[in-house]
Amino acid sequence: MIRNELTSKNGHLIIGGVDSVDLAKKYGTPLYVFDIEMIRSQIRKFKAAFEENDLNYQISYASKAFAVKAIYQVMKQENAHIDVVSGGELFTALEAGFPSDKISFHGNNKSYAELEMAVKNHIGVIILDNFHEIELLSDVLQSNNASVNVMLRLTPGISAHTHKYDQTGQTDSKFGFDVESGQASQAAKAVLNNKQMNLLGIHAHIGSQIFGTEGFIMLAKKMMEIAKQLKEEFNYWPQVINLGGGFGISYNQDDDPISASEFISKIAAELKKSDENVPEIWIEPGRSIVGASGYTLYTIGSRKDVPQHLPYVSVDGGMGDNIRPALYQAKYEAVVANKMDEKDVETAHIAGKYCESGDILIDKQALPKTKPGDILAILDTGAYGYSMAMNYNRNPRPAVVFVENGQSKLVVKRETYQDLISLDCDY
């Protein structure tokens, strides 16, 4: 979302038909606000792209981007699948009433207890990551006299152009079975020999916040080659090729994301070059589904002017509700939600309230004249924002509100001081 795509009325930022300044008043700040129609529309764009290209597909929302009961319920309404990466995400999804057969379970170090929880709840597919996990799962299946669908997470040696912290597809990665060295084939053999595991297909995830299509085209090609090898070696043809997530979104004018339809049509064209049957194609978008739909509303407080330097404008949240700028220099843009009609007059650092010099939410933000009590809205905070929130300095985590059709609904309560000590024991 860039600033000039926003809607405003009477100088106030409007989100999903609702006045954001009213939201800040009603629910307090810091506040996460999600425009749910945008989320639905992102999913529908992916679906339409697959249908236009005549591919069998599945959209599996990578829920680590934002994982609360209400978002799992939206995914259920949209008939999407979901990825989870922990017992906690799995628990949340199940408690939300999300159908277990549409859940994929990821992670490079799932525990026996997590695998057993997945198996007992008849989860859709476990994405196997390493040899230790094959053994653990085999034990779980034996002691529960159960069977389960699995996929193999592969590291096909492709790294898409992106921020280095986000690269997970290259050979030197903690994730997946390496293809080059024969680990992938060894893993396939182990799984195919296990009667309690049904090998649904192969998976790879090459990175995050990816803008170019080349990485995905290379990946599609490589995965078809790997499928052919599996056919030659084991007379096995995958039912599913899972190409992971990582589709980029625009956090500012410099980011130039590619549309779902362009991504998917290029992938489809590559897959169809093969004379083999094209398996069902699954993708796992996280950021591109929820990123642009999220806003964080803050109240502006103190200000520090530094001679010959940019001023610091502080807000009532910071790294505890959005750690991405401190963690990997993520860039955001903001607007003053109650001054949408006013001209920018200065550039300032937007500082958080946490006791860390690195707690700067935005390094350089153009602002109109501001005063304490103004509402700052940081844009595109829907992905990896609330899901990474924490209680540093014993600040309670914010509330989360969904807006749709001009209505707002509280979906996560604001933490209280009492909540903060609820796990503490006296000594």
Residue ranges in contact with ligand PLP by CB under 6 A: 62, 64-65, 83, 106, 205, 208, 244-247, 284-288, 383
**Which of 84, 315 has the CB closer to ligand PLP?**
84
Q: State the minimum distance, in angstroms, from the CB of residue 21 to ligand PLP.
A: 30
Is 324 marked as a binding-site residue? yes
Is 246 marked as a binding-site residue? yes
Is 284 marked as a binding-site residue? yes
**Which of 87, 352 has the CB closer to ligand PLP?**
87
**Which of 285, 318 has the CB closer to ligand PLP?**
285
Q: State the minimum distance, in angstroms, from the CB of residue 249 to ligand PLP.
A: 9
Residue at 232: amino acid letter: E
Is 328 marked as a binding-site residue? yes
Is 285 marked as a binding-site residue? yes
Cα–Cα distances in angstroms (integers) from residue 418 to residues 2, 293, 395, 424, in the given order: 38, 30, 11, 10
Q: State the minimum distance, in angstroms, from the CB of residue 426 to ligand PLP.
A: 39
**Which of 313, 383 has the CB closer to ligand PLP?**
383
Cα–Cα distances in angstroms (integers) from residue 43 to residues 58, 110, 232, in the given order: 11, 28, 36
Is 44 marked as a binding-site residue? no
- Give the other-Cβ count within 10 Å of 230's Cβ: 22
Closest residue by Cα to residue 334 from 377, 289, 381, 299: 377
Q: State the minimum distance, in angstroms, from the CB of residue 406 to ligand PLP.
A: 29
Angstrom distance (rounded) from CA 75 to CA 253? 29
Residue nearest to ligand PLP as judged by C-beta position? 286
Is 245 marked as a binding-site residue? no
**Which of 129, 374 has the CB closer to ligand PLP?**
129
Sign of the C-alpha dihedral computed for residues 265, 270, 276 and 279 taken in this order = negative
Angstrom distance (rounded) from CA 139 to CA 282? 28
Q: What backbone torsions phi and psi does residue 328 show, to the nearest 5 degrees?
A: -145, 40
Catalytic-labelled residue, pool 113, 355, 390, 421: 355
Q: State the minimum distance, in angstroms, from the CB of residue 65 to ligand PLP.
A: 5
Query: Is 355 noted as a catalytic residue in this protein?
Result: yes
Residue at 230: amino acid letter: L
**Which of 59, 119 has the CB closer to ligand PLP?**
59
Q: State the minimum distance, in angstroms, from the CB of residue 342 to ligand PLP.
A: 34
Q: Mind telling me the catalytic residues? A: 355
Binding-site annotation, residues for pyridoxal 5'-phosphate? 246, 284-287, 384
Binding-site annotation, residues for substrate? 287, 324, 328, 356, 384
Binding-site annotation, residues? 246, 284-287, 324, 328, 356, 384
